[in-house]
Structure 1
């Protein structure tokens, strides 16, 4: 594992357990494949731009081998940069997910496999919902999880049954305290 990943990720840890060595102050979760969803790639870039402007560099790693796949500017075309990584992984027979890491360690995105839940962690007090109105179409928050486990609606009950109370409760315990 490269130096930057060692400083951020706990080797072998998977969600809903704590996967980061240090805490970020905001966590958003997603269940869309970052490798193939152009919309999710655009949304992550939109969030990074809203919170951190166009400053910084992004490192992309294979989530299975922790291999460095790409390095690009926050101002670059993320769809092209991430799609090239996805193609490289598939050609190599690696069907795992991706890790995106801000080289200044202000944010990290981790999805171990395309079918697994992912996490976008970052340091900011900005109320990003005010700047990125469609964020709820791609991410769910700690507040969403708390609402779901209250099981006030049929939709909440269905989500808890599908995802699992233990998983959701572990996310709250590890990321939403």
Structure 2
């Protein structure tokens, strides 16, 4: 595991447990495969650009082997860069997810497998909704989790039954307090 990855992630940890060595000031969660959803890749890229600008680099790792797969700039075409990683993984028989790390350690994205929930953690006070109006088409927030576990509506009850109260409560405890 390279230095940046070791400094950011707790080896072997998976959501809803704490997976980062240090806390970020904001977290968003997703349940779409980052490797195959061009829309999610574009949304993450827009969020990173809005919160951190066009400078900087992105390191990409295999979530299963912690193998370094690629490094690209924030200004590059993320779809092409991430898709090439996904193709490499599939050709190697690795059906795990990806980890994306900011080289300046201001944000990280982690999804252990395409069918698992992922997390986008970052240090920014930018009101992303102003720059990325469709943000919540792809992500859910700590406020969403708190609303869901309150079970005030039928939708909340159904969602809690589907995802699991324990999972949502653990996300809330580990990332939203």
The TM-score bracket by the shorter chain reads: over 0.9
Q: Show CA shifts across 1:61-82 (max 9, x none).
A: 0000000000000000000000
CA distance in 1 between partners of 2:128 and 2:47 (Å)? 7
- Flag structure 1 segments of 5+ consecutive residues without an equivalent: none
Q: Give 1:127 shift.
A: 1.4
3-state SS of paired residue (2:140): coil
**Residue of structure 1 in register with 2:44 after alignment:** 44
Distance in 2 separating the partners of 1:156 and 1:127: 25
Q: CA RMSD in A?
A: 0.5
Aligned to 1:3: 3
Map Cα deviations across residues 21-60 of structure 1 (whole Å, 9 max, x no partner): 0000000000000000000000000000111110100000
Matched residue count: 177
Provide the rounded CA distance (Å) in 2 between the counterparts of 1:4 and 1:116: 23
Structure 2 match to 1:81: 81
SS at match of 2:43: helix
Please, what TM-score do these two structures have when normalized by structure 1?
A: 0.99
Q: Distance in 2 between matches of 1:129 and 1:123?
A: 16
Q: Distance in 2 between matches of 1:169 and 1:136?
A: 20
- 1:78-98: CA deviations, max 9, x gaps? 000000000000000000000
CA distance, structure 1, for counterparts of residue 19 and residue 89 of structure 2? 22
**Cα distance in 2 for residues equivalent to 1:43 and 1:9:** 23
1:116 correspondence with 2:116: yes
Which residue of structure 2 lines up, in the alignment, with residue 101 of structure 1? 101
Runs of 4+ in 1 over 2 A off after TM superposition: none
- 1:54 lines up with 2:34 in the alignment: no
Q: Which residue of 2 aligns with 1:34?
A: 34
3-state DSSP of counterpart to 1:15: coil
**In the alignment, is residue 128 of structure 1 matched against residue 128 of structure 2?**
yes
Determine helix, strand or coil for the equivalent of 2:119: strand
- Output the CA distance in 1 between the equivalents of 2:120 and 2:46: 13
Shift of 1:102: 0.3
Equivalent-residue separation in structure 2 for 1:89 and 1:108 (angstroms): 20
Secondary structure of 1:70's match?
Answer: strand
1:50 and 1:174 mapped to 2: Cα distance? 26
